[in-house]
Amino acid sequence: MNEASRGRCTVPWRNLFAILVVALIAAGCGGPYAQSAMQPASEIAQRLQDLFETIFWWAVAVFVIVQGALVVTVLKFRAGRRQDAVHSPKHVHGNTLVELAWTLAPAVVLVIIAVPTISTIWEVDLPTTDPDALVIEVVGHQWWWEFRYPELDIVTANEFHIPQGRMIDLRLTSADVIHSFWIPRLAGKRDVVPGRENILWFAADSVGIFIGQCAEFCGLSHALMKLEVVVDAPAEFASWARRQGRPAESLDEGDPLAALAAEGKDVMMRAGCIACHRIDGTPAQGVLGPDLSHVGSRRTIAAGILENTPENVERWLRNPGAVKPGALMPDLQLTEEDVRSLTAYLSSLK
Amino acid sequence: MSHSIYEGGLRSWITTVDHKRIGVMYFVAAGVFFFIGGVEALLIRLQLGSPESTLISSDLYSQLFTMHGTTMVFLVVMPLGSAFFNFLIPLQIGARDVAFPRLNAFSFWIFLFAGLFLNSSFLFGGAPDAGWFGYANLTSTQYSAGIRIDFWVLGLSLLGVSSIASALNFIVTIINLRAPGMRLMRMPPFTWMTLITSFLMILAFPTITIGLVMLLFDRNFGTNFFNPAAGGDVLLWQHLFWIFGHPEVYILILPAFGVISEVIPTFSRKTLYGYPFIIYSGILIAFLGFGVWAHHMFAVGLGPIANSVFSAATMLIAIPTGVKIFNWIATMWGGRLRLDTPLYFAIGFITLFIIGGLSGVMHSSPPTDLQQTDTYFVVAHFHYVLFGGTVFALFAGLYYWIPKVTGRLLHEGLGKLHFWMMFISFNVTFFPMHYLGMHGMPRRTFTYLPGLGFDLMNLVSTAGSLVLGASMLVFVWNLMRSLRRGPPAGRNPWGAATLEWTLTSPPPHYNFRTIPEVRARDPLWREDGVELGPEDSTVPEPVMPSPSAWPIMLALGPVIAATGTLVSSLPMALAGLAVLVASIYGWAFQPLER
Amino acid sequence: MDMHPTTTGVPNRKVLMWTFIGSECMLFGTLIASYLAYRGRSVVGPYPEELVNIPFITVTTFVLLMSSLAMVLALSAVQRGDRRGTIIWLAATAVLGLIFLGGQYLEFSHFVHEGLGLSRNLFSATFYLLTGTHGAHVLIGVIWLSSLLGMELRGNLGAEKAEIVEVAGLYWHFVDVVWIVLFTVIYLLV
């Protein structure tokens, strides 16, 4: 490389480029990522992450070697500024041995990746053999999640609880179109397919809240179909299960909202809600929409996209379609009073 | 640009059967659709630039991402490939035109009409909105009322006809119209890749055609192919779609491999290293490409056997794909690299394709893929291979071959500016998506909630996309400037080795006055590699096929029939059929040369 | 045509037809695979075993096979320059094809009469799509052959007539072979 070619050299660009590359790579690090696959909270998610990291570092190695070879080649063999027309490189047609070698080398790397891949497949894709597993049936709907615990006679929606450390055996299907059940920190995703039952299992390492999201395009509110799993200590889970298995208790007489809630219950029963919703212990036994028996105890509403506050519940009731485009719940044209009382009633269902 | 092969008014362009003009028309049409698809992408990025943005509604967003994907795959990258096939193949093999010039023109016109048909949906109730992959049963009338999906089904069916017709033509051309001495293993790599791609097209498109017909029937005639309540399997759609869809991505990348396999030797002044391996690996990729489709379905629950088999096959196909990269680098090694714009894009292609290929290897592992599929990780992957791969490679090809097409050189400085703007902004746009995916952002979402760590990376990506869009304008400016006042290119500005560079730029309308006799691969780089005959009037001017109006007429028939089907008008559908039949007879009774 | 003779020595139209047949193999392959995938999955009847009339279909299959024989004879006549033979055997091929189609029509009518409309169940959907696609191919073949017949009658089939008839014959034989597969898959495997 002589002075003449340096004038055309990309030295300042190269520094900038290197900085950019490092910045791009570093961009992904740090920060709390509540829905990240790279922060596993179960053994199976950890195994998926470990497999990813194995493949990732091999990929980095391959990239460094191959890209390095490319960069070195370009720098070493670029023509000088003065193009001498006489000099022509010797044509090399190939070398079978070399080509075989660099065909086998990637093959070896791929075998190294294939072995843990195949063994993990045979674990993940077969049902769990844990005899103590808790079976939960998951039904995907446009655009909410239904959860049924057959052994505990519980039905709930969008937020479900599980005991820490226990194997959870999910049976997945859909009531309408294909969705995908995904809680990244706890397990890989699995599609929920109408007419088919899929399985997914995991055991949560620690207590806490883990969020997920539908991961298969399913219509207008696909982006707004989240879900939450609350991992409780076994004792807490047992008490949650007991409460869920019974109708919600009415508010005490002395509670300031008791009267409003009672009005709200009337609204619920006459405004058409019972066509779609179920509230345990009342005439509302509809199955088209989420079960609302304990909706007041959930952290969020509208499938995880709104915090469960009275303001948000009112906002939903006034116009579901504005919160979730395409929502199948019609605008019931409720009066403001009805909205307030209904909100009080729903919030009381803990 | 005042060369006689492009002169003539609208009528001469509408009735042309000259492969060179047809190639130019494909390029212009693909360019316009690229602009449309690009605007769709920019709107998507603007919407995603901030969490819970209300810029674009969910409904419009669904149309945008559906049309962006459909447009880029079917109306941009494939036609751009066709533009190259059309202009170059006869020139590279020493022929005067393709085997069936009118069929060639027909392929173009039905593609153009199909693209217009598909895009007209925006004006008639909304564009298709169930994704470019249109999964059942979201696409059933129950969950997708109206005619948007019918627009999609019919539009894609028409495009399939175009692709199959074009591919059949190129297969016959390459097999049967080669100049004497142009043995298969002496053909330029681009011609080889075109042949392989054409076989993929005729074998892959029929499967999606059947799937589309089934969907059309479900939506319009009450059948239950994809209705689970009647025993149908929604996964049948996915199988049919991906049995087509996976070979389709090889259809999109193999021509790019062909371009790179010509640009790199030319600008290294050194023959392609391992030509046979490049060819055989291309053939192997095509075969294996039919055996990996279910790697798009790893989350569907096919079971451990299917997942293992498809995982292994997918890893296997990485080998012939990756080996080419080593061949290209080995070609440059020991060469004298002329760092002009085409080579910049070729080097950029290799870099980005390595990254895209490696993220593909990550996807090939089903357990890993269970976290990555349907997230922004896979969006990053396919943009690296399709944009960083194919589009960069096609730009390398454009900068390489446009001087042959127009007779004028493009400006090097502007070319390099285009490259750097595009290369850098491409990475800024798409690299962060790897993280977004791993951190839990699913794809095909019109918005996302704040507080999940997605905000900054989405903003960065959006910023990159705006610069990426702008970089295209540099190319357009370069092209316009070159057409007006670019220096004459001459016959062989790059000192390249293949037959097209023996002709004037642009070539005469009959290409070769005397068909050359080929004696070696890289004919222009070998002593006695080719024997060129006289170009002057000692040889009578070859008689070429006459222009014909039947190709465009025939193309109208199916489009009218499709429109009739769309609006449930039997008379219109029958009228389209009548135009189709009449045009076939008109064509059959019209001699090729008059 | 000013293009030089073909590299392989095989006429362009013939290479085109063979390649097209390759593509059609994938088309019918997909239809057949889908038919097989959905075999036995219909939720309501009527079911194939209740409907198919094997003796009847055997007759129509025989008719179609004979049409391929007629096609062979037509090609042989054309290659010999035997104009009368060409006309007779082209006509015979087309007529036998039409008889086959007539048989298909009768069978479809019978099925519909028994309650198997297009949208009835999975058997109806896959059966009608598969055999309907095949029938459409036969119909196109009949129209094509009739056109060739008409041109030969008026004497303007041209110098390349042998090549054109051969290519039509390739198509016709392919459609016949597809039927043999369909006959086996739908009727013999019922």
**A25 in a structural domain:** no
For residue C171, which residues of chain B lie inside 8 Å, CB to CB?
none
The question of whether B548 is a catalytic residue gets the answer: no
- How far apart (Å, rounded) are the C-alpha atoms in residues A148 and A138? 7
Query: Do residues A140 and A48 both lie within one domain?
Result: yes
Cross-chain residue pair A216–B276, CB shorter than 8 Å: no
**A320 in a structural domain:** yes
Mean pLDDT computed over B36-58 = 97
For residue B586, which residues of chain C lie inside 8 Å, CB to CB?
none
**A220 in a structural domain:** yes
For residue B66, which residues of chain A lie inside 8 Å, CB to CB?
none
Point out which residues pair with A134 in neighbouring strands.
Answer: A168
Name the domain boundary from A221, A245, A269.
Answer: A245
Number of alpha carbons in the 13 Å side-chain half-sphere of residue B542: 19
Query: Do residues A64 and A157 both lie within one domain?
Result: yes
pLDDT band at residue B472, thresholds of 50, 70 and 90? very high
The question of whether B163 is a catalytic residue gets the answer: yes
Query: Do residues A156 and A276 both lie within one domain?
Result: no
Cross-chain residue pair B323–A103, CB shorter than 8 Å: yes
> Does B138 score more than 90 pLDDT?
yes
For residue C15, which residues of chain B lie inside 8 Å, CB to CB?
99, 171-172, 175-176
Tell me if B300 sits within 8 A of B235, measured CB to CB.
Answer: yes
Q: How many residues does chain C have?
A: 190
Query: Do residues A138 and A173 both lie within one domain?
Result: yes
Tell me if B418 sits within 8 A of B474, measured CB to CB.
Answer: yes
**A148 in a structural domain:** yes
Query: Do residues A136 and A263 both lie within one domain?
Result: no
Quote the DSSP letter at residue B396. H
Secondary structure of residue A148 in the 3-state scheme: strand
Name the domain boundary from A245, A266, A290.
Answer: A245
**Tell me, what's the pLDDT at A8?**
47
**Tell me, what's the pLDDT at B450?**
94
Q: How far is B173 from chain A (nearest CA, A)?
A: 27
Q: How many residues does chain A have?
A: 350
The question of whether B68 is a catalytic residue gets the answer: yes
Point out which residues pair with A161 in neighbouring strands.
Answer: A230
* Amino acid occupying residue C109: S
Would you tell me the crossing angle of helices B392-406 and B341-363 to the nearest 10 degrees?
A: 150
Query: Mean pLDDT in runs of 10 for chain A (350 residues)?
Result: 42 61 62 89 96 97 97 91 60 89 95 96 93 97 97 95 97 98 97 97 96 97 97 97 93 88 93 94 94 96 94 96 95 94 94
For an interface test with B, which of A100, A125, A171, A301 has the most B Cβ atoms less than 10 Å from its Cβ?
A: A125
Would you tell me the crossing angle of helices B455-485 and B19-48 to the nearest 10 degrees?
A: 150
**Tell me, what's the pLDDT at A322?**
95
Point out which residues pair with A232 in neighbouring strands.
Answer: A163
- How far apart (Å, rounded) are the C-alpha atoms in residues B189 and B199? 16
Q: Give the strand pairing for A159-163 and A226-232.
A: parallel
Degrees to nearest 5, angle at CA B487 with B481 and B489: 115
* Exposed / middle / buried, residue A335 (Cβ in 10 Å: 0-12, 13-18, 19+): exposed
For an interface test with C, which of B168, B182, B210, B589 has the most C Cβ atoms less than 10 Å from its Cβ?
A: B210
CB atoms closer than 10 angstroms to residue A16: 12
Question: Which residue blocks in chain A are alpha helix, DSSP H?
Answer: 3-6, 11-26, 43-77, 96-124, 234-245, 258-270, 310-318, 320-323, 336-348
Matching residue, tokens 């699995």: A190
Q: Which residues, in sequence order, are CB contacts of B576 under 8 Å at separation 6+? A: B556, B557, B558, B559, B560, B561, B562, B563, B564
Cross-chain residue pair B210–C31, CB shorter than 8 Å: yes
Domains located in chain C, CATH noted: 12-38+54-188 (1.20.120.80)
- How far apart (Å, rounded) are the C-alpha atoms in residues A322 and A343? 17
- How far apart (Å, rounded) are the C-alpha atoms in residues B19 and B102? 9
Residue A335 sits in a domain of what CATH number?
2.60.40.420
- How far apart (Å, rounded) are the C-alpha atoms in residues A79 and B545? 45
CB atoms closer than 10 angstroms to residue C12: 21
Query: Do residues A177 and A50 both lie within one domain?
Result: yes
Tell me if B508 sits within 8 A of B21, measured CB to CB.
Answer: no
Strand runs labelled E in B411-566: 517-518, 530-531
| Every domain of chain B and the residues it spans | 4-547, 553-594
For an interface test with C, which of B18, B177, B195, B223 has the most C Cβ atoms less than 10 Å from its Cβ?
A: B223
> Does B221 score more than 70 pLDDT?
yes
- The helix or strand, by DSSP H or E, that contains position B329, with its residue range, turns out to be helix B304-332
pLDDT band at residue B179, thresholds of 50, 70 and 90? very high
Query: Do residues A51 and A150 both lie within one domain?
Result: yes
**A264 in a structural domain:** yes
**A108 in a structural domain:** no
Tell me if B51 sits within 8 A of B454, measured CB to CB.
Answer: yes
Secondary structure of residue A64 in the 3-state scheme: helix
- How far apart (Å, rounded) are the C-alpha atoms in residues B28 and B92? 22
The question of whether B261 is a catalytic residue gets the answer: yes
Which residues constitute the domain of residue A223? 35-76+127-245
Closest chain C residue to the Cα of B512, Cα to Cα = C3
- How far apart (Å, rounded) are the C-alpha atoms in residues C101 and C88? 20
CA distances from C29 to B66, B207, C179, C181, C185 (A): 29, 8, 12, 10, 12
**Tell me, what's the pLDDT at B356?**
98
The question of whether B447 is a catalytic residue gets the answer: no
**Tell me, what's the pLDDT at C5?**
84
Query: Do residues A240 and A312 both lie within one domain?
Result: no
Query: Do residues A58 and A167 both lie within one domain?
Result: yes
Q: Give the architecture (CATH level 2) of B4-547.
A: Up-down Bundle (1.20)
Q: Report phi then psi at A135, rounded to 5.
A: -85, 130
DSSP chain C: --SPPPSSSS-HHHHHHHHHHHHHHHHHHHHHHHHHHTTT--SSS--HHHH--HHHHHHHHHHHHHHHHHHHHHHHHHHHT-HHHHHHHHHHHHHHHHHHHHHHHHHHHHHHHTT--TTS-HHHHHHHHHHHHHHHHHHHHHHHHHHHHHHHHTT-S-TTHHHHHHHHHHHHHHHHHHHHHHIIIIIIT-
**A26 in a structural domain:** no
Q: Look at chain A and report how many structural domains it folds into.
A: 2
Ramachandran area for residue A165 (φ above 0: left; ψ -120 to 50: alpha; else beta):
left
Q: Which residues, in sequence order, are CB contacts of A233 under 8 Å at separation 6+? A: A163, A164, A207
Name the domain boundary from A216, A245, A274.
Answer: A245
CA distances from A201 to A136, A232, B303, B541 (A): 10, 17, 14, 75
**Tell me, what's the pLDDT at A251?**
87
Degrees to nearest 5, angle at CA B179 with B176 and B182: 90
Q: Burial code of B169-196, b = ≥16 C-beta within 10 A, e = fewer?
A: bbbbbbbbbbbebbeeebbbbbbbbbbb
Give residue-wise pLDDT tens across range C27-86.
999 999 999 999 999 999 899 999 999 999 999 999 999 999 999 999 999 999 999 999
**A286 in a structural domain:** yes
The question of whether B537 is a catalytic residue gets the answer: no
Mean pLDDT computed over C115-128 = 97
Q: Report phi then psi at A81, rounded to 5.
A: -65, -40
Cross-chain residue pair C125–B176, CB shorter than 8 Å: no
Query: Do residues A144 and A189 both lie within one domain?
Result: yes
Q: What is the mean pLDDT of chain B?
A: 97
* Amino acid occupying residue A223: A
- How far apart (Å, rounded) are the C-alpha atoms in residues B591 and B546? 9
pLDDT band at residue C2, thresholds of 50, 70 and 90? very low
**Tell me, what's the pLDDT at C190?**
79
Q: How far is B562 from chain C (nearest CA, A)?
A: 18
Mean pLDDT computed over B216-245 = 97
**Tell me, what's the pLDDT at A262?**
93
A95 CA to centre of own chain: 49
Closest CA to C181 of C125, C118, C131: C131
Q: Give the strand pairing for A134-141 and A168-174.
A: parallel
Secondary structure of residue B203 in the 3-state scheme: helix
- How far apart (Å, rounded) are the C-alpha atoms in residues B373 and B375? 5
Q: Report phi then psi at A202, rounded to 5.
A: -170, 165
**Tell me, what's the pLDDT at C3?**
44
Residue tagged active-site, from B107, B121, B162, B498: B162
* Amino acid occupying residue A72: V
Q: Which residues, in sequence order, are CB contacts of A104 under 8 Å at separation 6+? A: none
Secondary structure of residue B258 in the 3-state scheme: helix
**Tell me, what's the pLDDT at C4?**
52
**Tell me, what's the pLDDT at A2?**
39
- How far apart (Å, rounded) are the C-alpha atoms in residues C186 and C189? 6
Cβ-defined contacts of C87-90 (< 8 Å, 24+)? C87/C149, C87/C152, C87/C153, C90/C145, C90/C148, C90/C149, C90/C152, C90/C165
CA distances from C36 to A272, B537, C42 (A): 46, 63, 12
Residue tagged active-site, from B443, B444, B481, B491: B443
The question of whether B517 is a catalytic residue gets the answer: no
- The helix or strand, by DSSP H or E, that contains position A157, with its residue range, turns out to be strand A154-157
C47 CA to centre of own chain: 25
- How far apart (Å, rounded) are the C-alpha atoms in residues B46 and C18? 50
